[in-house]
Structure 1
Amino acid sequence: MKCLMSWSGGKDSALALYRCLNSPKYSIVGLVTTISSSTNRISMHGVALDVLKNQTDSIGLPLHVITLPEDCSMDAYESIMGVFMSNMKRDGIKGVVFGDIFLEDIRAYREKQMRGIGLIPIFPLWGLKSHDVANEFFANHFKSIITCVDGELLDESFVGQNYTSAYIEKLPDGVDPCGENGEFHSFVFAGPIFQRELEVKVVNTICREYPNPQGGNPKTFWFADIAISK
């Protein structure tokens, strides 16, 4: 089946892609990433477009970048994605792969959107325990760095570190080992899907505030601004 990979640049996307590349059922022909027009970065991961392109060049798959307007509404997002995915379907794409693990509402949303276009949503990691996902990631010699953490759950010291079993052990109680609830996000820079390991350095750590969807005080996130050493 000819498929696209919904690509965040992070560890779960990487492991899902790895599983699909090793399955005779799927032919992954491209990666799809959304970036913010105001920052030119992957929205919640905070990774700059040039860093993302270095990553996907090393993976060796075409990258489709979808630029979203600042303060993009859900209606606008769905319209932009709908046009893109419909065009991909006309080009022969049959399915889209996602790296979700257990969030039922996210899966239901993706299924609704994809099936409305006539594409098959694929979830290679679905139903696995987060610890098992992490262990499989490490066992296959992937490497990643934490690029964003939720400041309400994790302090600044948790951003800019490599994602390892030792990192997981330091996480506070209640934080998912894979950050599946949005506690943290990552950027993968080495592993079996890469032609070469990327040399990543942290340039700076930045604190940003965003409006709280539930109202009240803004939500705080810590970001590691990363670059690729040439």
Structure 2
Amino acid sequence: MTDDATRGGAWVSLFSGGKDSSWALYRALESGLPVERLLTVHTTGDSYMYHVPETELAGLAAESIGIPLVEVEPDDFRAADAVDSAAQGDAELEPMEAALRDLDADLSVAGVTAGAVESEYQTSRIEAMCDRLGIDLFAPLWQRDPMTLAEEMLDAGFEVTILQVAAAGLDESWLGRSLDRDALADLADLHDEYGVHVLGEGGEFETFVTNGPHMDRGIELEYDTEWSGNRGRIRVTDARLD
């Protein structure tokens, strides 16, 4: 795994439209890596490996970015029979690996980008996949300070909307909230009080990047909110490019 651009050839960005995968893509493009495809895995329920809410928005983001998107649909996603979290993570990775093998046949894939920050569970599996495929992994967020990363995203011009929350201290008012400097200050307080990760790395919250320097047009969202118990999400009713 590297946080530097080390190899030429075609690159694929593992992409959900969320802030972390978008930042990995942005940094790859800044570093001169020729990213020729984005790859999104859609899921139908909770996932150990993937960003879950509103992954259908990735298509709009890809259109704004100007890089073709490859989508792995729910019918191709089979992890329901896994007996534990380790087995589920391995099963969840299979459709991504299959898609990358197909892309490699067409593009001769040199590597993938990933937005993992601290998750050994996810990163170890992606590293092992890359080893099997004989490709590199570009992971510019890996083991970086979360607050520093968040501030770098804002400094670069990322506009980020919170789609889902599931952690103590994150109430319904966070749904649809912009991840701006005021929100970061509040998250820092919630980290001190409840242990909430500033970037939501443990699944505390999920996001979508509506604009950034790697995008030609911003994305406008209209949505309803859903809340149940101690978690909630937005349901996008309309999304369009500015």
Query: What TM-score do you get using the length of structure 2 for normalisation?
Result: 0.80
State yes or no: 1:46 paired with 2:53: yes
CA shift for structure 1 position 76: 4.4
Match of 1:63 in 2: 69
Q: Which runs of 5+ in 2 are unaligned?
A: 1-7, 81-87
Aligned-partner Cα distance in 2 for 1:153–1:5:
32
Aligned-partner Cα distance in 2 for 1:37–1:47:
11
Alpha carbons 1:94, 1:119 under 8 Å: kept = yes
Match of 1:27 in 2: 34
Match of 1:223 in 2: 233
Match of 1:163 in 2: 179
Aligned-partner Cα distance in 2 for 1:229–1:60:
15
Deviations 1:114-142 (A, max 9, x none): 21122222211222100111011000111
CA gap 1:99/1:196 in 2 versus in 1, 3 angstroms: same
CA shift for structure 1 position 229: 4.8
Name the SS for the 1:100 alignment partner.
coil
Name the SS for the 1:200 alignment partner.
strand
Deviations 1:100-157 (A, max 9, x none): 1122332112101221122222211222100111011000111010001115452212
Q: Which runs of 5+ in 1 are unaligned?
A: 210-219
My pick for the range that moved more, 187-196 or 153-162, is 153-162
Deviations 1:38-65 (A, max 9, x none): 8xxxx6441152x332221111110010
Name the SS for the 2:182 alignment partner.
helix
CA shift for structure 1 position 98: 0.1
Aligned-partner Cα distance in 1 for 2:183–2:134:
40
Among candidates 118, 125, 142, match of residue 134 of structure 2: 118
Aligned-partner Cα distance in 2 for 1:189–1:16:
16
Match of 1:72 in 2: 79
Match of 1:196 in 2: 217
Report percent identity of matched pairs: 27
CA gap 1:83/1:44 in 2 versus in 1, 3 angstroms: closer
Aligned-partner Cα distance in 2 for 1:200–1:103:
29
CA gap 1:179/1:151 in 2 versus in 1, 3 angstroms: closer
RMSD: 2.2
Match of 2:124 in 1: 108
Among candidates 23, 26, 31, match of residue 15 of structure 1: 23
Match of 2:202 in 1: 181
Deviations 1:146-203 (A, max 9, x none): 00111545221211101111112222131111111111110001110110112223x2
Name the SS for the 2:42 alignment partner.
strand
CA gap 1:4/1:170 in 2 versus in 1, 3 angstroms: same
**Matched length:** 213
CA gap 1:149/1:37 in 2 versus in 1, 3 angstroms: closer
Match of 2:5 in 1: none
List, as ranges, runs of 4+ consecutive aligned residues in structure 1 with deviation greater than 4 Å.
Answer: none
Query: What TM-score do you get using the length of structure 1 for normalisation?
Result: 0.84
Aligned-partner Cα distance in 2 for 1:109–1:229:
34
Name the SS for the 2:13 alignment partner.
strand
CA gap 1:125/1:8 in 2 versus in 1, 3 angstroms: same
Deviations 1:60-108 (A, max 9, x none): 1100100134773435433322321111222211101001112233211
